[in-house]
Amino acid sequence: MQYDHIVVGGGTAGCIVATRLSEDPNRSVLLLEAGPDFPDFDQLPDMLKLGWGTVNLEARAAGSPYNWSFTGRATAEQPEPMPVPRGKVLGGSSAINGQTFIRGAPEDYDTWASWGNEGWGYLECLPYFRKLENDADFHDDFHGTDGPVPVRHHQRETWPPSQEAFFQAATAAGYPFHPDVNNPEATGVSLRAENNIDGVRMSMALSYISSVRHRLNLTIRANVQARRVVLEDGRAVGVEVESGGDTFVVEGSEIILCAGAVASPQLLMLSGLGPADQLQAHGIPVAVDLPGVGQNMRDHPNVSVRYMVKDDVPQDPNGMRALRLRFTAAGSDTPNDMILSPASLNTVVRDDNPAHTVNCGLYLAAGKGELRLESADPHTAPSMDYRYLEEDWDRERLREAVRLCVSFLQHSAYDGIIDEITAPTPADLESDESLDLWLRRNISTSYHISGTCKMGPDDDPMAVVDPQLRVRGVSNLRVADASIMPDVVRANTNVTTMMIAERVSDFIKAGE
């Protein structure tokens, strides 16, 4: 059978694209996912169902059955590889991530448009953000109330003591309170938005796919790994896949790669689409020399300030990350380029450290990394060199964020909460040089890898896809996921990935 559309990757973008394209009963759609599928909610493992605490961290832990367990290099000062979790299950990373539902700054999308990506300005993206959203708390022109993704916020009466203390410290320092984090004017302290209902994460498998499984024109195949896109005479005609020990080709009139910012560039290179020198080094025939594949790797460098709380401080696991503070670094011309995210209990990584954290994130880094093909074997993960903190401007802003965070923790609102600040130490804070060394040793990913198949105009030699997300130099092939972002947005990337998927679905329906 030849399908009209083959969607490779059943993650955030893939679930949405498959759902939207199959709305037309005359289109046949095949959705391929390398991980398992759980069609029955009652069979969904708790680590994929429940929102917070150790169960959530179990799903993203290295070696989890639902995590690709990639690794990357953060800085030269870190001897161990940095974990880079990505979801390996229908729903993809939306099934294991932090469920943070934040769009990005309007200027992010306007910048994309100013770089020659016509049609990607904020006002043109806004209808798609509204289309996918069902916000229970904010009803205005900036929000949707009937989309498939439910959005909730933790109101003040639910905050644990350390969240309340952070709020008091930040507002005492002069930062305003804007409850709606997705309002385009929002800055300062805001309520963290999340796609979670009563402790149950609403992955895109639940939000989009669960209600359309009955469609006769939609075929979902789990435990099927794509090996490469099959090309003939400059056209994509199918996908070579592996399933149950067999390797075979599925044919399609159009292929849409939604495999994420790691696997989509890897698949392109395995298919002969990428930097010629890398392909030739691994014996892969060059179909199209696309030097930008795997380059422009963007992320949000993140470091955690840690503290121990007193034994009698109560904790509510349902509101452990109720707030976040967005602010503009001193001397920055990009508003809200920094984010502080207080976490009552360690909700970011799974380890034995009992400390609470405030995560200090650089949300518009100057530096960028590189993803490279390591083998022609699709089972060998690509290498990822994040190259954090190589830019002076990035180090300067993170130093400011850490010192601001420590000053908050010394506010009187924390007097009955904090036992001691464990990291950074006073010695680490003694000078810019000592703090830089601490940053280099402790910096980590925010799990927001993007930009590795960047979108751009014809005159951008590093652009991999055009503004309709068509891969340059080959027909019938698109990429639609976080990899196409020209630069990472000033927010968690999952909602922007949802918007990208909604947009490309309309492009395809319109024949663009």
Closest by Cα among 175, 235, 385 to 298: 385
Half-sphere exposure for 144 (CA within 13 Å, toward CB):
18
The closest alpha carbon to 381, from 301, 229, 265, belongs to: 265
153, 154, 300, 448: the catalytic one is 448
Compute the distance between CA of residue 52 and CA of residue 50 in angstroms, rounded to an integer.
6
Q: Hey, what are 173's tokens?
A: 């320092």
Q: Where are the alpha helices (DSSP H) in 87-232?
A: 106-114, 122-132, 161-172, 204-207
User: In this structure, what is the dihedral angle of CA atoms 353, 358, 360, 363, given to the nearest 10 degrees?
Assistant: 110
Q: How far apart are CA 264 and CA 287, in angstroms?
A: 16
Phi-psi category of residue 231: left, alpha or beta, with phi > 0 → left and psi -120 to 50 → alpha: beta
Cα–Cα distance measured from residue 259 to residue 433, given in angstroms and rounded to the nearest whole number: 40
Residue 485 CA to residue 275 CA, distance in Å, equals: 19
What b/e string do you get for 56-85 counting C-beta neighbours within 10 Å, with b at 16 or more? bbbbbbeebebbbbbebbbbeeeeeebbbb
Is 154 designated active site? no
CA 148/CA 129 separation, integer angstroms: 11
Asked whether the beta carbons of 455 and 486 are under 8 A apart, the reply is yes
Residues 6+ apart with CB under 8 A from 357: 304, 305, 306, 307, 342, 343, 346, 347, 348
Phi, psi of 326 (to 5 degrees): -105, 135
Specify the 3-state DSSP secondary structure of 154. Answer: coil
Helix (H) or strand (E) holding 231: strand 225-232
Q: Scan for tokens 């290099």, then name that residue.
A: 73
Q: Residues with catalytic annotation? A: 448
